[in-house]
């Protein structure tokens, strides 16, 4: 598959291209809600640069950045996040706007926000979360790339549900400076694009050490190819039959070039519990500063009792944010910390050790989700626990900080399906190489209702 970025850079743009693009985006977005902010300054630019977007939790100087929450309404960052600065300094890209998301990244289907984004293929279906808007914008715009962020599957899930490539790098390969945190030890900034080659081009720009982020410590990215692909039996057992059947058909095709092995790793089927314990504990800590005084929406008068002011100000959090704050605060409390949080960290170390051993020898391949794309009405009926269970495939690599990539491989009832490939730490280029080769033999056609702007 060709690089859309290179194709666009080599094109002669008609006069008024960006003006027409912005108008078309606004028309479509009235129904699909991919964007929270559209940068109108790009309209008059005539240098032919490629539009890029950022998830609404990545700071862009002077652009309202809310992380999908009322608590940050009106916040205008005084600086650019490192990834934004690097994209702008590269010279080939111009900032187009910020994209919709679940509040602070809390969600699997993109429904935990004021106006949820809708799936690019059918707006009766979920767009996926938490980077819902980034995926819809990438499906909507042929010549565009999205800078996004993943904590437990926030790039992979919406990318799969909207039929685009979602690349989540190794933890520490890309600076998080300027990211509004969900869970510091899990958050990773990555890319959504129409092709693996475009994702690689953006990754080459945004990766690398940063003096402002001490966790950004990965110095060298490898491209060590593998000849084996592992499929985890316990995860496939939790997959709906229709998805399993379609995935097995895709694996048969892949098996012509790789040795396919089904293996047992029961600990991965239990990864949801430690992930949510750790994520909620870190989230409750990060969100503690939003009290309406120094941080968060300035709500009401300051001459009231602290508890009254604090309670009213924090009532602006959504239901899912409140749930995670309460549970996270409980998990961190002295009386139960060792019972839950400390044990979750120990299980995390075990998962990393077992996955690393397997990934040194080959790739891991799976569906991205265990179910077909749900309708919005059906997803709204799911309990919190049922929602969390949808992350069964995406949580293990995120919990371990392993690089992974989601790519489209088929359709089911008109909706796209995505597969997820995982490799070892700092072997990110091997994933991009794999999907680039896959794309050469797989003619994926975008069938969504948005057209290609």
Catalytic one of 49, 69, 154, 366 = 154
Token pair in block for residue 240? 């709906």
Residues 6+ apart with CB under 8 A from 340: 277, 331
Query: What 8-state DSSP symbol labels residue 268?
Result: G
Report the sign of the C-alpha dihedral through residues 411, 412, 418, 419, in that order.
Answer: negative
Catalytic one of 130, 150, 284, 436 = 130
d(CA 249, CA 386): 27
Supply angle C-alpha 313, 100, 166, rounded to 5.
Answer: 130
Token pair in block for residue 404? 């992974």
130 carries an active-site annotation: yes
188 carries an active-site annotation: no
Any idea of the CA torsion for 235, 363, 282, 103, to the nearest 10 degrees?
-80
249 carries an active-site annotation: no
Any idea of the CA torsion for 129, 130, 134, 135, to the nearest 10 degrees?
-20
360's enclosing H/E stretch is: none
Token pair in block for residue 249? 């058909």
Q: Give the closest residue to 430 by CA, choosing from 199, 260, 222, 171.
A: 222
Q: Cα 270 to the chain's mean position, in Å?
A: 22
Tell me whether residue 220 is exposed, middle or buried, using C-beta atoms within 10 angstroms of its C-beta: 0 to 12, 13 to 18, 19 or more: exposed
The phi, psi pair for 366, rounded to 5°, reads: -160, 170
Token pair in block for residue 419? 């597969």
DSSP state letters, 195-239: SHHHHHHHHHHHBS-BTTBTT-----------SEEEEEHHHHTTS
Catalytic one of 3, 28, 49, 55 = 55
Catalytic residues: 55, 130, 154
């Amino acid at each position: 598959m060709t690089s859309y970025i290179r194709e666009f850079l080599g094109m002669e743009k008609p006069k008024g291209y960006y003006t027409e693009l912005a108008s078309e985006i606004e028309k479509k977005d009235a129904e699909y809600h991919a964007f929270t902010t559209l940068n109108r300054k790009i309209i008059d630019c005539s240098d032919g640069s490629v539009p890029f977007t950022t998830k609404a939790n990545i700071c862009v100087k002077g652009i309202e950045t809310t992380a999908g929450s009322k608590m940050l309404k009106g916040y205008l960052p005084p600086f650019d996040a490192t990834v934004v600065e690097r994209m702008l300094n590269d010279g080939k890209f111009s900032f187009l706007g910020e994209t919709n998301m679940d509040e602070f990244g809390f969600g699997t289907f993109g429904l935990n926000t004021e106006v949820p984004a809708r799936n690019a293929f059918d707006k009766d279906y979920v767009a996926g979360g938490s980077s819902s808007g980034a995926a819809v914008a990438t499906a909507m715009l042929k010549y565009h790339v999205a800078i996004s962020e993943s904590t437990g599957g926030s790039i992979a899930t919406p990318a799969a549900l909207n039929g685009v490539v979602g690349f989540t790098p190794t933890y520490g390969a890309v600076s998080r400076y300027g990211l509004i945190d969900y869970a510091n030890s899990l958050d990773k900034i990555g890319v959504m694009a129409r092709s693996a080659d475009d994702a690689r081009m953006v990754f080459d720009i945004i990766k690398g050490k940063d003096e402002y982020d001490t966790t950004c410590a990965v110095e060298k990215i490898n491209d060590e190819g593998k000849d084996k692909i592992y499929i985890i039996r316990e995860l496939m057992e939790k997959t709906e039959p229709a998805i399993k059947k379609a995935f097995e058909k895709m694996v048969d095709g892949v098996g012509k070039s790789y040795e396919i092995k089904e293996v047992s790793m029961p600990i991965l089927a239990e990864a949801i519990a430690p992930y949510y314990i750790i994520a909620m504990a870190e989230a409750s800590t990060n969100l503690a500063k939003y009290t309406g005084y120094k941080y968060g929406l300035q709500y009401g008068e300051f001459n009231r009792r602290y508890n009254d002011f604090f309670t009213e100000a924090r009532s602006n959090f959504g239901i899912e944010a409140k749930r995670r704050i309460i549970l996270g605060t409980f998990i961190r409390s002295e009386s139960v910390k060792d019972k839950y949080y400390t044990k979750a960290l120990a299980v995390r170390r075990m998962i990393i050790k077992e996955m690393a051993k397997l990934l040194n020898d080959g790739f891991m391949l799976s569906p991205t989700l265990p179910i077909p794309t749900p309708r919005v009405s059906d997803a709204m009926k799911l309990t919190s626990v049922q929602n969390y269970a949808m992350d069964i495939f995406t949580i293990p690599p995120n919990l371990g900080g392993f690089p992974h990539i989601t790519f489209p491989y088929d359709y089911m009832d008109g909706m796209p399906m995505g597969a997820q490939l995982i490799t070892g730490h700092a072997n990110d280029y091997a994933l991009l190489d794999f999907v680039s080769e896959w794309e050469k033999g797989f003619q994926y056609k975008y069938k969504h209702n948005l057209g290609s702007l």
